Amino acid sequence: MNNPAVRQWVDATARLTAPDRVVWLQGSDEEYRRLLAEGVAQGQLLPLHPQRHPGSYLHRSHPRDVARTEQSTYICTPHRDDAGPTNNWMAPDDAHATLRRLFQGAMRGRTMYVVPYLLGPPGSPFSRVGFELTDSVYVAVNMRLMTRMGAVALEQLGASAEFFKGVHSTGTLDPEQRYICHFPQESAVWSINSGYGGNALLSKKCVALRLAGAQGRREGWLAEHMFVMGIEDPHGRTTYVAGALPSSCGKTNLAMLKPAGRFSGYKVWCVGDDIAWLRVGRDGRLYAVNPEAGFFGVAPGTSAKTNPNMMATIATNTIFTNVALAADRTVWWEGLDRPADVRGMADWQGKPWDPASGQKAAHPNARFTAPIAQCPVTSPAWNDPEGVPISAILFGCRRSTLVPLVYEAFTWRHGVYLGATLNSETTAAAAGATGVVRRDPMAMLPFCGYNMADYFAHWLDMGTRLASPPRIYRVNWFRTDARGACLWPGFGDNMRVLKWILDRCHGSAEAAATPIGYLPTPAALDTEGLDLPPERLQTLLDVDVAAWRDAARRQTDFFSKFGERLPGALREEQQALMDRLKGSG
């Protein structure tokens, strides 16, 4: 390595953390095999059944380290206001002092892996280089699957001193001393005392969303918690759709959906399942790339029925985390097609599993890591340096009540307001209570690296720079009946909703204007072949005016948090909604 800026920073970090050895990773297959063997030797990775899960491993994380911890995640800007009311804030000097103390000698007796990675397609104006220094071999192998790791990154970096810096140590895993501190001014993130997911795979939420988001704001682009998919119609025309849904609310499933039988003439192409970087193209359209190269997907609920493309993706060369393990070294989780082979099954903590205990065998946030290239429907454009042009943006939520299956924003500005007011039930992807409705604007509440009011302003500004902005939709697959069962079949049948959206984009689908936005007329939504009684469809497309009035009023509390910094356009949209609701009955 002859990039002086990288070398200096790695040396300084090694002096502080005192690892026994420093290993620079190149990204070769041979090196990956060596890392896997090291993981096995350390007891971090357990080889799975060689025929039923070729090249695949199980990792069990510490039982108190199973999801992102938002309470230990900080944005460290000189002014508290630049982190804003939705982020934890720490003054950079204080954060550095705390981190110096915790990282001092933290890697003693361990190896520090230097992991160079490229976010985005090689040679693309979208793309950025990052490095993660980590003492976790589990993180190192995950980074190999999740990013374009090694030589390709060094090539893109050349002699430049501009790269994202990530320093990670599993430390003691003490949740009380866990810190994930972001320094947007330094393009740096430091993470200690967690080895799991977004806390530890720093390329993902820390860099590609929080730090890249702050950089994108300065440079005029967006880093979003979005999947990106292409939908090819029977005439061979491909329309690209991006969508933000909060963690564990359906991005991965939608991004590689297998259209329900009736839509067999349509093909879905997956560009990305979790993160999108968006720029205004020369033609005035919005273009997206997926900065990542792999999936870190939710296992429970994944099956040949719900997501056959993912089942094919994870058939080989996959790292499973916190799933259950059958006696024959095959993996299992709740929602898999085949019943649990209970005899000798170990739960996610490795303890004998007793289904009668009522405990789940797999952790609800159990995950798998696999390369996007293994997905049978990976888009031919996923590695295109230009990105793909986006025709529609979805803001989705998990709501058992109120929010219809789908509706369309009147304008870009109204769409930004729909994103900004997104409300969704919390899930197992983050530590804490699940099923609690909270504001999760653009599904970015945990991932926005700067003041969210400025983020809304940035979104509004992007719209003014787009000659043909994408249409914006709100979707909700999770409306339930009185007994808590989903009213909408979801998964492959979400193609029915996408079909309406495509037809809207191409100017041929009917919609009814309601106070909240354009809803599909019942006839415009293709429900042929579904066992969906008309009254259930009516509930799914219902706009309860009284309930929406309450909902609109409740947005005031959320908006007030931002004081004067909130763009006036959002309050105007709120007022316009209240006026429309007043006018309707």
Annotate each residue in 410-429 with x if it binds ligand SPV (CB under 6 A) or - if it does not, as one string.
Answer: -------------------x
Torsion of CA 453, 457, 460, 466, to 10 degrees: -140
Classify each residue of 44-71 as buried b or exposed e, where b means 16 or more C-beta atoms within 10 Å of its C-beta. bbbebeeeebeebbbbbbbeebbbbbbe
> Which region, left, alpha or beta, applies to residue 11 given φ > 0 means left and ψ of -120 to 50 means alpha?
alpha
Distance CA 572, CA 585 (A): 21
Q: Does 147 bind ligand SPV (CB under 6 A)?
A: no
Contacts with 296 (C-beta within 8 Å, 6 or more apart), sequence order:
142, 146, 197, 201, 204, 274, 367, 368, 369
Shortest Å, Cβ 99 to ligand SPV: 21
Contacts with 579 (C-beta within 8 Å, 6 or more apart), sequence order:
none
Number of amino acids touching ligand GTP (CB under 6 A): 22
- Of 204 and 474, nearer to ligand SPV (C-beta) is 204
Type of residue numbered 1 = M
- Would you call 181 a catalytic residue per the annotation? no
Near ligand GTP by CB under 6 A, which window of 119-127, 341-349, 486-494, 522-530? Answer: 486-494
- Of 198 and 469, nearer to ligand SPV (C-beta) is 198
Q: Does 37 bind ligand GTP (CB under 6 A)?
A: no
Q: Does 205 bind ligand SPV (CB under 6 A)?
A: yes
Residue ranges of alpha helices (H) inside 207-249 are 212-219
Contacts with 62 (C-beta within 8 Å, 6 or more apart), sequence order:
173, 195
Q: Does 197 bind ligand SPV (CB under 6 A)?
A: yes
Q: Does 432 bind ligand GTP (CB under 6 A)?
A: no
Shortest Å, Cβ 297 to ligand GTP: 5
Q: Does 204 bind ligand SPV (CB under 6 A)?
A: yes
Q: Does 199 bind ligand GTP (CB under 6 A)?
A: no
Shortest Å, Cβ 427 to ligand GTP: 7
User: Under a CB-based contact definition with an 8 Å cutoff, are residues 459 and 411 in contact?
Assistant: no
Q: Which residue is nearest to Mn ion (CB)?
A: 274
User: Under a CB-based contact definition with an 8 Å cutoff, are residues 192 and 176 in contact?
Assistant: no
Which residues 290-309 are close enough to bind Mn ion by CB under 5 A? none
| Tokens describing residue 10 | 């790695």
- Of 488 and 559, nearer to ligand GTP (C-beta) is 488
Q: Which H/E stretch holds residue 166?
A: strand 164-169
Helical pair 4-17 and 92-103, crossing angle rounded to 10 deg: 60
- Of 256 and 260, nearer to ligand SPV (C-beta) is 256
153, 249, 289, 362: residue in contact with ligand GTP (rule CB under 6 A): 249
Annotate each residue in 243-282 with x if it binds Mn ion (CB under 5 A) or - if it does not, as one string.
Answer: ----x--------------------------x--------
- Of 247 and 383, nearer to Mn ion (C-beta) is 247
Please identify which of the residues 76, 181, 206, 249 carries the catalytic annotation: 249
Phi, psi at 460, each rounded to 5° = -65, -40
Q: Which of 168, 138, 152 is nearest to 28 (CA)?
A: 152
Annotate each residue in 261-280 with x if it binds ligand SPV (CB under 6 A) or - if it does not, as one string.
Answer: -------------x------
User: Under a CB-based contact definition with an 8 Å cutoff, are residues 131 and 165 in contact?
Assistant: yes
Which residues does residue 359 pair with via DSSP β-bridges, in sequence order? Answer: none
- Of 214 and 429, nearer to Mn ion (C-beta) is 429
Q: Does 291 bind ligand SPV (CB under 6 A)?
A: no
| Tokens describing residue 476 | 């909700």
125 to 121, 385, 386: CA distances (angstroms)? 9, 7, 8
User: Under a CB-based contact definition with an 8 Å cutoff, are residues 482 and 493 in contact?
Assistant: no
39, 84, 116, 250: residue in contact with ligand GTP (rule CB under 6 A): 250
How many Å from the N-terminal Cα to the C-terminal Cα in the chain?
Answer: 70
Annotate each residue in 278-317 with x if it binds ligand GTP (CB under 6 A) or - if it does not, as one string.
Answer: -------------------xx-xxx---x-----------
- Of 296 and 518, nearer to ligand SPV (C-beta) is 296
- Of 229 and 566, nearer to ligand SPV (C-beta) is 229
Distance CA 462, CA 482 (A): 41
Q: Does 68 bind ligand SPV (CB under 6 A)?
A: yes
Which residues does residue 320 pair with via DSSP β-bridges, in sequence order? Answer: 58, 368
Per CB under 6 A, residues contacting ligand SPV are 68, 197-198, 204-205, 247, 274, 296, 429
User: Which parts of this chain interact with Mn ion (CB under 5 A)?
Assistant: 247, 274
Please report, as ranges, the residues that interact with ligand GTP according to CB under 6 A: 245, 247-253, 273-274, 297-298, 300-302, 306, 429, 477, 486, 490-491, 494
Catalytic (active-site) positions: 249
